[in-house]
Structure 1
Amino acid sequence: MGCGTSSKVVRELPGSSFPLSWGKGLGRGSCGPLQTGEGKAEQRGHWGTHEAVAEAAQKIQVARYRAKFDPRVTARYDIQALIGRGSFSKVVRVEQRVTKKPFAIKMVETRVKEGREACESELSVLRRVSHCNIIQLIEIFETKDRVYIVMELATGGELFDRIISQGTFTERDAIIILKMVVDGVRYLHSLQITHRDLKPENLLYYHPGAESKILITDFGLANSGNKNGDWSMNTICGTPEYIAPEILSRKPYTNAVDMWALGVITYILLSGFLPFQDENHMRLYRKILKGKYSYKGEPWPNVSNLAKDFIDRLLTLDSNHRMSAVQALNHPWVITMAIKSPMKNLQRSISWNLMLRKSPHSRCSRSAQASESGHSSGSIHTWGNKLVNKTGTFG
């Protein structure tokens, strides 16, 4: 699943000097409610002590990882904080010494066969892509046993975390987001690259500002075709809730699997629910293979028929009849309603439904992704465990 922690490289609290790593981090309510009098002063003192200890520990940790870096890297970049770790890699936030711009560096241990193969797989994609809505590779440093991958730093957070935090969310907002994502997918498909793991966690805002672009990240499962020009795939992989039916049917498949995943993402984006969900994977797969979902419950009565048609044309069982990325960008909902879309605020219903995902099941470790990507989601919801199974069986 990429080179340890994938291109989704950072999640930081605005204004904080502490790195918020995936799964741990500092919660907004860590110190409890504000108090008055002695209690309030005592709490400030306690927080100050905690802050000092954490800062000291961070400095020791950064110094330890800085010492492991190749001198060529530290000559160009100032290592600032560890922000992720995986089976074969560690990711640090850095600052370029000359420009003072922030970046992320993934240090991959390539002495291990699995780490080397995973790194080569992801780099084969990152070296080829250059698009405003796709995480960018900046440069690479290679040594005998390590590869240092310098990438863009995405600090704006995950897609749905922002929807929950903002006051309004309309179909027009959804269209703005989807146009960026679909155009990125269109670009990938034009290069015969299939992402194979599109999901909300892999869609990050570049910066916290309101006008931030969306970045598609995590190319650990991406396929870039083969030398014979055969672009069909057979490997069973992905995240269960987003896997297309043709993959579950163990049939050769194409980049249309990305469009199915976009249909699932759009459904969630407009409702806060998954179209197909079940804690039992086998039951989930049967639901996907049937392709049956509904538009019942809030906020669907307030969602336009054109938006539902957009979803229907993506969640089509026959991949040959599924919309392509180009067709999705030209769908009437995207073309006409970007200008004249319903202005009904769906945020309250969507946020409530998203919050319902905050359950013991949704917070569980994403087995394959947690071990390979080096993080468990720090957001309030987790949308599924990544499945990588090359044996052709499901478990």
Structure 2
Amino acid sequence: MGARKVQKPENLLVSHTSSGQPMVKLTDFGDAVQLNSAHYIHPLLGSPEFASPELVVGEPAALTSDLWSLGVVTYVILSGASPFLDESVEETCLNICRLDFSFPHHYFQGVTQGAREFICLLLRADPARRPPAGLCLQEPWVQGQAGLADAQGQGRVEGGCLDTSRLVLFIDRRKHQTDAKPIGGVQSFLQSRLQPQA
């Protein structure tokens, strides 16, 4: 059992505790549901760029569906760009189903291989191949053992800071989008595009 909610950067808040350690908090659980069975199909809403392939094609949600969203959010935070966003909802969904993403150098300059591997670990088409949340927390990149590359490709950059200018533009673009409107017709479009050619 678990809560089902597609996360996006706007739903993450960071607060600083008295110990000096930042604490990440999730917000906006308006359309979250408790997964009590293996057959819950979450409706595809608004912008699908954070939705996992199983949600995009209308299959049942899994506990690891949210881990896909975490992979997309991690990509966005590190690069300021979306891995799957395209000109239309349909093309975005097609990119998700085809795992059509890359790590362009101009967006990922200074981001280590460990961070990229963490993203790839989560962005797996088969929800059963995504690790459970507990294992994700043990990943070296999450533990702070690898993150932003310095001049030798090791450790973190001075101050451990990312250039967030693209991220600010990304979040500004999303401010005016609604994620509550159901999306129709995507599944039939995907079926026609994903079926093997004869």
Q: Bin the TM-score by the shorter chain.
A: 0.7 to 0.9
Q: What secondary structure sits across from 1:357 in the alignment?
A: helix
1:331 corresponds to which residue? 139
Q: What secondary structure sits across from 1:333 in the alignment?
A: coil
Question: Is 1:343 aligned with 2:161?
Answer: no
So what's the TM-score if we normalise by structure 1?
0.40
Q: What secondary structure sits across from 2:81 in the alignment?
A: coil
Kindly indicate whether the alpha-carbon contact (under 8 Å) linking 2:114 and 2:147 is maintained by their aligned counterparts in 1: no
**What is the rounded CA distance, in whole Å, between the counterparts of 1:298 and 1:337 in structure 2?**
24
Measured after TM superposition, the shift of residue 355 of structure 1 is 3.9
Letter of the structure 1 residue corresponding to residue 69 of structure 2: A
Kindly indicate whether the alpha-carbon contact (under 8 Å) linking 2:11 and 2:28 is maintained by their aligned counterparts in 1: yes
Kindly indicate whether the alpha-carbon contact (under 8 Å) linking 1:272 and 1:351 is maintained by their aligned counterparts in 2: yes
1:234 to 26, 41, 44: 41
Q: What secondary structure sits across from 1:213 in the alignment?
A: strand
Question: Is 1:225 aligned with 2:24?
Answer: no
Kindly indicate whether the alpha-carbon contact (under 8 Å) linking 1:240 and 1:387 is maintained by their aligned counterparts in 2: no
**Kindly tell me: are residues 321 and 338 of structure 1, through their superposed partners in 2, closer, same or farther at Cα, counting changes over 3 Å?**
same
Kindly indicate whether the alpha-carbon contact (under 8 Å) linking 1:243 and 1:261 is maintained by their aligned counterparts in 2: yes
**What is the rounded CA distance, in whole Å, between the counterparts of 2:168 and 2:3 in structure 1?**
31
Write the mapping of 1:347-362 to structure 2, written as runs, cut at 5 A: 347=161, 350-357=163-170, 362=173
Q: Which runs of 5+ in 2 are unaligned?
A: 149-153, 188-198
Structure (1 or 2) with the larger CA radius of gyration:
1
2:5 corresponds to which residue? 196
1:189 corresponds to which residue? none
Query: More strand per residue: 1 or 2?
Result: 1
Measured after TM superposition, the shift of residue 293 of structure 1 is 1.0
So what's the TM-score if we normalise by structure 2?
0.76
**Kindly tell me: are residues 342 and 301 of structure 1, through their superposed partners in 2, closer, same or farther at Cα, counting changes over 3 Å?**
same
Q: How big is each residue's C-alpha offset from its partner over 1:4-59, in whole Å with a ceiling of 9 and x where there is no partner?
A: xxxxxxxxxxxxxxxxxxxxxxxxxxxxxxxxxxxxxxxxxxxxxxxxxxxxxxxx
**What is the rounded CA distance, in whole Å, between the counterparts of 2:169 and 2:107 in structure 1?**
14
Write the mapping of 1:144-223 to structure 2, written as runs, cut at 5 A: 192-206=1-15, 211-223=21-33
1:260 to 40, 51, 68: 68
Question: Relative contact order (C-alpha < 8 Å, sep 6+): which is higher?
Answer: 2
**What is the rounded CA distance, in whole Å, between the counterparts of 1:250 and 1:344 in structure 2?**
41
Q: What secondary structure sits across from 2:44 in the alignment?
A: strand
**What is the rounded CA distance, in whole Å, between the counterparts of 1:272 and 1:208 in structure 2?**
26
Q: CA RMSD in A?
A: 3.0
Q: What secondary structure sits across from 2:141 in the alignment?
A: helix
The percentage of aligned residue pairs carrying the same residue is: 29
Kindly indicate whether the alpha-carbon contact (under 8 Å) linking 2:147 and 2:155 is maintained by their aligned counterparts in 1: no
Q: Which runs of 5+ in 1 are unaligned?
A: 1-191, 368-384
Q: How big is each residue's C-alpha offset from its partner over 1:337-388, in whole Å with a ceiling of 9 and x where there is no partner?
A: 079972215745x3222244377xx266333xxxxxxxxxxxxxxxxx3444
Kindly indicate whether the alpha-carbon contact (under 8 Å) linking 2:111 and 2:147 is maintained by their aligned counterparts in 1: no
**What is the rounded CA distance, in whole Å, between the counterparts of 1:393 and 1:357 in structure 2?**
26
**What is the rounded CA distance, in whole Å, between the counterparts of 1:274 and 1:347 in structure 2?**
20
1:312 corresponds to which residue? 120
